[in-house]
Amino acid sequence: MLPKGYRIRKSKEFDLIRTEGVKYKSKNFMLVVRKISPKELDLAAEKEQTYPRFGFIVSKKIGGAVVRNKVKRWLREAVRLELHSIPKNIEATLIAFKDADKSSFNELRDELKKILENIKRDS
């Protein structure tokens, strides 16, 4: 499970990422990434926040609570398994698309890996 320190929970933070972030799309989800400035990283260190941080959005269009929670668990686990390859200076939001529940965990993880490669290439 992805530790709580790596999660975004406040709506203000989600809004900031949405307005300032860069969007990367795949078949099953969109990743909106906001780069963190060195000054913000220093402030976060004082507050004992960890980076990278992620938020997860799975709308009711995907299905009932059980299905939405399954998709969120899969996305959190995919991020946890890829933490070693994620740049430390980002905040990101994963927004699941309508048919994300029809894909397997491995498909979601592979899509995340491809997007992370694109992020590294763009940096």
Beta-bridged to residue 57, according to DSSP, are 95
Structural domain spans, the chain:
4-122
Q: pLDDT (tens digit, 9 = 90+) per residue, 13-48?
A: 999 999 999 999 999 999 999 998 888 877 776 676
Q: pLDDT (tens digit, 9 = 90+) per residue, 64-119?
A: 999 999 999 999 999 999 999 898 889 999 999 999 999 999 999 999 999 999 99
pLDDT at 43: 75
pLDDT at 41: 76
| pTM, two decimal places | 0.90
pLDDT at 37: 85
Is the pLDDT confidence value at 56 over 70? Answer: yes
pLDDT at 48: 65
Counting every residue, how long is the chain? 123
The top-level CATH class assigned to 4-122 is alpha beta
Q: Is 9 left (phi over 0), alpha (psi -120 to 50) or beta?
A: alpha
Kindly write down the DSSP assignment for every residue of the chain, as one continuous string: ---GGGB---HHHHHHHHHHPEEEE-SSEEEEEEEPPHHHHHHHHHTT--SSEEEEE--TTS-SHHHHHHHHHHHHHHHHHHGGGS-TTEEEEEEE-TTGGGS-HHHHHHHHHHHHHHHHHH-
